[in-house]
Structure 1
Amino acid sequence: MQAVLKCAKIQVVHPQGCLNATNALELERDLTTTLTQDEVSGLLLDLAKVESIDSAGLMALVSALKVAQTLGKSFQLYSVSPAIRIIFELTQLDDIFEIFVDQPELILT
């Protein structure tokens, strides 16, 4: 009998600037493309360099989260600034997304 160990491959994405109606569709497409790759078991979104986010940006993240859930993959956010964090809290999306202060050292999916 042979033991098989499958390692999870977590893809890290680093968006920058403003996540808004101008680029939300492109972000959603990029996140969805990444999540649908067979070798990827989850997505980690580094929001450290995101300056602002509007409703279109939030919807892109929600859409990507739904894709991840449908595929049984993880979708987590980290390095969320206080200004961006308050938007997640006001929209109650902080209850929906798994949000870390810093990049997690170990992610078990």
Structure 2
Amino acid sequence: MQLDAMPRGRDLLVAVREDRIDAAVAVQFKDAMRQVTEGGPARVVLDLSQVGFLDSSGLGALVAAMKVLGPSRRLDLMAPTPAVQKVFRLTRMDTVFAIFPDEDSAFGIGDLAHAG
């Protein structure tokens, strides 16, 4: 499971470099997320822009990754593909995760550009 972690201000951006998060890779995803987020900042933003398929095992792996962060840290999602966005809507997990359409909105870049 290929994940790239990059600091973004006080947050951590984790990009999934796979086209699927499903039963075949769910355990590897959870392990990789644990490794890249361990001891990290209070907010992790997961870039799903390359993920074209997410099944129930993948959804469970996302929830598990959120729980590993603990109550004092947050996992937000960014740029899900239409198919993945549909899974979140159908399962109502879009009410559990904050989901941002792109990096600018996830990190408030547009807001900074218009500030004072």
In which range does the TM-score fall when normalised by the shorter chain?
A: 0.7 to 0.9
Partner in structure 2 of residue 13 of structure 1: 14
Partner in structure 2 of residue 49 of structure 1: 50
Question: How far apart, in 1, do the equivalents of 2:77 and 2:83 lie?
Answer: 15
**Residue from 35, 38, 53 that aligns with 1:36:** 38
Question: Partner of 2:52: helix, strand, or coil?
Answer: strand
> Structure 2: any 5+ residue segments left out of the alignment?
1-8, 110-116
- TM-score of the pair, normalised by structure 1: 0.80
Percentage of matched positions with identical amino acids:
30
Question: Partner of 2:44: helix, strand, or coil?
Answer: strand
- The structure number with the bigger radius of gyration is 1
Question: How far apart, in 2, do the equivalents of 1:44 and 1:58 lie?
Answer: 16
Question: How far apart, in 1, do the equivalents of 2:108 and 2:67 lie?
Answer: 23
Q: Which has the higher contact order (CA 8 A, sep 6+)?
A: 1
Question: How far apart, in 2, do the equivalents of 1:91 and 1:23 lie?
Answer: 20
**Residue from 27, 30, 36 that aligns with 1:25:** 27
Partner in structure 1 of residue 87 of structure 2: 87
Question: How far apart, in 1, do the equivalents of 2:43 and 2:37 lie?
Answer: 7
How many residues align structurally? 98
Question: Partner of 1:49: helix, strand, or coil?
Answer: coil
> Structure 1: any 5+ residue segments left out of the alignment?
1-6
Partner in structure 1 of residue 113 of structure 2: none
Aligned-CA RMSD value = 1.8
